[in-house]
Structure 1
Amino acid sequence: MKSKRAKVTSIGDYSPAGFRWLRLKRLHYLDRKGNERTWESAERSTRPASGVDAVAVYARLVSETENTEKLVLVSQFRPPLDKYVLELPAGLVDSGETPSEAALRELREETGLVGRSAEESPLLFSDPGLSNASMKLVEVTVDMDDARNRFPKQALDEGEDIAVHYVSASGLRRELESLCEAEDLVVDARLWTIAFGKEVGEASGGKGAGSFSAFVSTIDPSTAFFAGAVFASTAVVAGLVKGLFFSK
């Protein structure tokens, strides 16, 4: 016999007047035993028809003159934390955009780099205990020998103040720790989880993850569960209200 599943029965809007980016919700749902319960959550008011709110960009920098693969990261002030956060380049998906198109646009705007999309993750949820905000992680390859990437220039929106960092993909966790200590930063949960997974792969004798499929293949189920737990617990703290996922 198939076991009963919990289900939402109604959703009420509790958004205060003047909120532009978010809607606050109170959900009523039935648990597996049939008991009625409530939950408070938030959702983005900008979700496009694709159902994908945002993208994060895993941008690999490659060059014929460089033997060590590098990644491009960004840091910026996040008001909900009152801290500067080290992150993957990221942003909201505009109406009519595919996730890959949004990833390339955000990468160009935030870092000035031009890349090509390699692979998209499945639809992911960054903080399911707080919000239904959805995302895709997009792997992008950036050819640093391309003339367009020799002198990259950001195209930031008014009010954005984003610093760009090039870091080695090998020993990524150590790179993050060093950069955070040097510049008084904290790390976004998505980025830390990637670094953790790469470290596990390197420790097991692998050469690091060159793609999502290679990355996943280095992690056994127990490690994946632990990494997910680290991700979720950190995201709950880091994602309060307007900083739920990515600020536009």
Structure 2
Amino acid sequence: MSHALFDLTGRIALVTGSSRGIGRAVATGLAEAGATVVLNGRNSERLSSTAAELRSRVGADRVRTSAFDVTDPSAVDEAVGAVESEIGPLDILVNNAGFQHRQPMLELAPQDWDAVLRTDLTSAFLVGRSVASRMVARRRGKIVNICSVQTALARPSIAPYAAAKAGLAGLTRAMCAEWAGYDIQVNGLAPGYVETELTAPLVADEAFTGWITGRTPAGRWGRIEDLVGPAVWLAGSGSDFVNGQVIFVDGGMTAVV
């Protein structure tokens, strides 16, 4: 039997960008802890496939989908309203949607910079504000923003991603400052270098993997499963007095030089 502080039974969670990778793992963890999860993505086929697999594990009644563009303000408000009307009030929001664009800054087109900032940072503002407007009225809620080791560190060729993730930490603190008084906890979860479909080429690069394992005290790449426990904690009652923090799950990378 799970401890009550980590039991999400009866709660409803929306996880953006949850058809694969970290978002999918977090959504699965929340569902296995008892929550009803609403999966989000723009690829309807992939979203349906993920939902079918998760339903086979936790039951059809606790997995729903909502396909909408997290960067479109009107689409966000419409989708959040529909979720609350058709499924129920959202207790948990995980802002996970994002992508990477690798290119040296001197070669980076402004539109590519804008695309990363819009998806990785502005979407969290849009979805977070829409969901929080309802949480404020109910005086309760949990928001988890998926940050990154790049929230604190930078590498060549990923300037827009590093800027977006650093901005997301600031947004997390700003959300805390404005909404904590309504018993809403807003925190960031910052993965280190994690093996996913998107990072597979980097994992396969022996030189890069050697650098990662040498730079990380734990001596390995992260696994998406490493993020589930911290996500469930931040989404549950065990973190009720944790607010405005960014929790690094990086094998110690940001703790050493």
Would the TM-score normalized by the shorter structure come out above 0.5? no
Larger strand share, 1 or 2: 1
- TM normalised by structure 1 equals 0.30
Max radius of gyration: which structure? 1
- TM normalised by structure 2 equals 0.29
